[in-house]
Amino acid sequence: MTEKFERPWHRHYPEEIPATLDYDRKALHQFLYEAADLYPEKKALHFMGKEMTFEELLQQTEKFAAYMQKLGVEKGDRVAIMLPNSPQSVIAYYGILMAGGVVVQTNPLYMERELEYQLNDSGAKMIVCLDILYPKVSNVKGNTDVEHVIITGIKDYLPFPKNRIYPFIQKRQYKLVVNPEQTHDTHLWEYIFHSSVDTVTPVDIDPADDLALLQYTGGTTGYPKGVMLTHLNLVANTQMSMHWLYKCKKGEEIVLGVLPFFHVYGMTAVMNLSIMMGSKMILLPKFDAGEVLKTIDKQKPTLFPGAPTIYIALLNHPALKKYDLSSIEACISGSAPLPIEVQERFERVTGGKLVEGYGLTETSPVTHSNFVWDRRVNGSIGVPWPDTDAKIFRMESGEEAEFEEVGEIAVKGPQVMKGYWGRKEETDQVLDAEGWFRTGDLGYMNEEGYFYVVDRKKDMIIAGGFNIYPREVEEVLYEHEAVQEAVVVGIPDPYRGETVKAFIVKREDSSVTEQELNDFCRKHMAAYKVPRVYEFRNELPKTAVGKILRRTLIEEEKNKQGTGSTEPV
The answer to whether the beta carbons of residues 124 and 144 sit under 8 Å apart is yes
For residue 109, the SS3 value is coil
% of the chain at pLDDT higher than 90: 74
CA distances 251 to 41, 42, 164, 238, 303, Å, are 11, 8, 33, 16, 13
Residue ranges of domains in the chain:
29-42+50-205, 231-458, 461-560
Is residue 108 within 8 Å of 262, Cβ to Cβ?
yes
What separation in angstroms does the CA of 40 have from each of 47, 53, 270, 301, 514? 18, 7, 20, 20, 56
- Whether the pLDDT of residue 569 is over 50: the answer is no
Q: Return the SS3 of 274.
A: helix
Instruction: Over range 521-540, report the average pLDDT.
Output: 94
Query: Which DSSP string corresponds to 143-170?
Result: TS---EEEEE-GGGGPPTTHHHHHHHHH
pLDDT at 567 over 50: no
461-560 is a CATH 3.40.1350.10 domain: no
State the pLDDT at residue 398: 86
Q: State the pLDDT at residue 95.
A: 98
Helix, strand, coil content of the chain in percent (nearest 5): 35, 25, 40
Looking at residue 509, what is its pLDDT?
Answer: 86
What phi, psi does 553 have (nearest 5°)?
A: -65, -40
Tell me how far apart the alpha carbons of residues 368 and 359 are, in angstroms, rounded to a whole number. 7
Among 62-76, 150-164, 433-447, the minimum mean pLDDT is found in 150-164
For 109-128, what is the mean pLDDT? 96
Highest mean pLDDT (candidates 14-28, 191-205, 478-492): 14-28
Q: What is the pLDDT of residue 472?
A: 82
- CA–CA–CA angle 58, 60, 65 (5° rounding): 90
Q: What are the helix (H) ranges across 50-98?
A: 54-70, 87-98
Question: Which residue(s) pair with 390 in the sheet?
Answer: 411
pLDDT of residue 559: 84
Q: Which of 217, 211, 216 is nearest to 233 (CA)?
A: 211
Cα–Cα distance, 258 to 507 (Å, whole number) = 44
* Cα-Cα-Cα-Cα dihedral sign, residues 264, 234, 441, 303: positive
29-42+50-205 and 461-560 share one fold: no
Supply the pLDDT for residue 568: 28
Who has greater pLDDT, 24 or 179?
A: 24
- Distance between CA 351 and CA 354 in Å, rounded? 10
Q: Nearest Cα to 502, choosing from 475, 526, 467, 524?
A: 475
Residue 506 has pLDDT above 80, yes or no: yes
Q: What pLDDT band is residue 3 in, cutting at 50, 70 and 90?
A: very low
Cβ neighbors of 468 (< 8 A, separation 6 or more) are 218, 460, 461, 462, 490, 500, 528, 529
Round to whole Å and give the CA distance between 449 and 439.
18
Is residue 546 scored above 70 in pLDDT? Answer: no
**Pairing of the two strands 353-359 and 366-369:** antiparallel
DSSP string, 536-550: E-S---B-TTS-B-H
- CB 233 within 8 Å of CB 415: yes
The yes-or-no verdict on residue 552 having pLDDT over 90 is no
pLDDT given at position 499: 92
| CATH T-level topology, domain 231-458 | Rossmann fold (3.40.50)
Contact 105, 421 (CB under 8 A): no
- pLDDT tens digits, one per residue of 455-480: 777 777 888 888 787 878 988 998 89
Residue 47: the pLDDT is 97
pLDDT in tens, 277-324: 999 999 999 999 999 999 999 999 999 999 888 998 899 899 999 999
Q: Region 528-534: what's the mean pLDDT? A: 95
SS3 309: helix
pLDDT-derived band at 554, boundaries 50, 70, 90: confident
Q: Is the pLDDT of residue 565 over 60?
A: no
Q: Is the pLDDT assigned to residue 152 strictly greater than 70?
A: yes
Report cis status (omega within 30 of 0) of the bond before 161. yes
Stretch 214-236: mean pLDDT, rounded? 86
Choose between 219 and 29: higher pLDDT: 29
In a 3-state reduction of DSSP, which class is residue 216? strand
Looking at the domain covering 29-42+50-205, what would its CATH class be? Answer: alpha beta
pLDDT at 485 over 90: no
DSSP 355-413: EEEEE-GGGSSEEEE--SSS---TTS-BEEPTT-EEEEE-TTT-PBPPTT--EEEEEES
Predicted pLDDT of residue 219: 44
DSSP annotation of 133 reads: G
Query: How many angstroms separate the Cα of 300 from the Cα of each of 90, 293, 324, 549?
Result: 21, 10, 9, 50
For 54-97, the pLDDT digits (tens) are 999 999 999 999 999 999 999 999 999 999 999 999 999 999 99
Residue 128 confidence class, pLDDT cut points 50, 70, 90: very high
Contact 59, 32 (CB under 8 A): no
Which pLDDT score, from 0 to 100, does residue 462 have?
86
Q: Could you tell me if 356 and 370 are in contact, meaning their C-beta atoms sit under 8 angstroms apart?
A: yes
The overall average pLDDT reported for the chain is 91
Across the range 487-508, mean pLDDT stands at 90
pLDDT confidence of residue 6: 67
